[in-house]
Amino acid sequence: MRLLLAIAACGIIFFAVLWAGGRVFATGSSADAAAPRTFLSTTSVGDEGTTSSREKSGRKETTARSSRDPQVHHVHADMVIAGSAVLHASDIETEWVPVPPPKDAPPCRQNDPDLSRFTITGEARTIFESPAGIARTESRVSLFANGGQAALYFQALNNQAKLRCIRDGVKRWLSGNGWKPRLLYAELQTAPPIGAETAIYLFNYAITLSTGRKLTYPVELLTFQVNRAVGTLEYNFIFSPDGRKPCQCELDEARLVSSRLYRT
C-alpha cells in the first residue's frame, strides 16, 4: 500500500517538476540550484530538530555536543539490540533504497530540556527513500541504562512544544524550497498505543509550486517507549487514506520495531 501511495506521489511531483522546468529541487541552503535529476528532497525531523535529508548527507561530520545532551556510553550488547530493532531492507518494499543519514539539526529552543542525566547505551538509525527519492521512511532506536531513564527521557521531549517546533521547522524548510506552504493541521495523538508511552505527531501542508500547482505534503512522527528503549519512526510524503491518522503501514512498522524492543 505504501509503495502505491509513493508511486502516485512520484507521478504527481514528476509532472509538476517537468512543468516547472526542473526547478523543484533543494540541497541544503540552495533552494534554487539547478537540478541534475528530478527529485524532491525531504526533511528529517528526528527527536530534537529539522534538517534537509540532502544537507551534508554522507559526510563524517559530527554535531558538537552540548552539556544538555544525554551522556553516551555504548555497550556492545545494546548496540546489537538497537541495530536489530530498527527497520531493515527486508522489512519494507524492495524498491525502497537505503540512504545515508543527514546531519541532525540543532535542538529547538522552545523544547530543549536538560537531558544530561540520561545515558544512551545503544543506538541505531536507518533511512530508506522511494525509487524517485520523493517519499522517505526513517527509524531510530536509543537504549538507556534502565527503563526509568527511557520513560523520563521520552516524557521530557514529547509535548506540545515539540509539536510546535516540528510544525514550524517543516514549514520553514518547505518555504526554503521556494514553495508556499500553508498548514492544514498539526496534531499530537497518544493512540493507538505502540509502547508503554506513545506520541504520534501528524502534520499536513498545502504547498504551491512556482508553477501554481497545488499539492499536499504530509509528515508523520511516531515515537514510543518500550522498557529501556525509545523508538522513533518518521515518514515524509506518504499519504494515508484515513486522513488525520497514520497510514496502517506506518503503524505496522512502528509495532514491528516496538516488538523487537520488548526483550530489552
Report the amino acid identity of residue 55. E
The predicted pLDDT at position 27 comes to: 27
Q: Where are the beta strands (DSSP E) in the chain?
A: 43-44, 51-52, 71-72, 97-98, 119-129, 136-144, 180-189, 197-208, 214-226, 229-236
Mean pLDDT, residues 105-126 taken together: 90
| Whether residue 263 has pLDDT greater than 50 | yes
Distance between start and end Cα atoms, the chain: 31
Task: Tell me, yes or no, whether 61 lies in a domain.
Answer: no
Report the amino acid identity of residue 191. A
CA–CA distance from 120 to each of 36, 44, 105, 123, 232 (Å)? 40, 21, 19, 7, 15
Parent domain of 21: 2-56+67-261
Is residue 170 within 8 A of residue 50, CB to CB? The reply is yes
- Please, which pLDDT band fits residue 218 given cuts at 50, 70 and 90? very high
Task: Tell me, yes or no, whether 62 lies in a domain.
Answer: no
pLDDT digits (tens, 9 = 90+) for 15-26: 333 222 222 222
The predicted pLDDT at position 73 comes to: 97
- Please, which pLDDT band fits residue 111 given cuts at 50, 70 and 90? confident
Task: Tell me, yes or no, whether 88 lies in a domain.
Answer: yes
Q: How many domains does the chain have?
A: 1
Please give the Cα distance from 107 to 101 (Å, whole number): 17
Task: Tell me, yes or no, whether 91 lies in a domain.
Answer: yes
Task: Tell me, yes or no, whether 201 lies in a domain.
Answer: yes
Residue in the block written with cell 532506536: 141
Report pTM: 0.79
| Whether residue 51 has pLDDT greater than 50 | no
Task: Tell me, yes or no, whether 14 lies in a domain.
Answer: yes
Question: What is the average pLDDT value for the chain, to the nearest integer?
Answer: 79
Mean pLDDT, residues 222-249 taken together: 92
| Whether residue 184 has pLDDT greater than 90 | yes
Task: Tell me, yes or no, whether 82 lies in a domain.
Answer: yes
Task: Tell me, yes or no, whether 223 lies in a domain.
Answer: yes
232: β partners: 140, 223
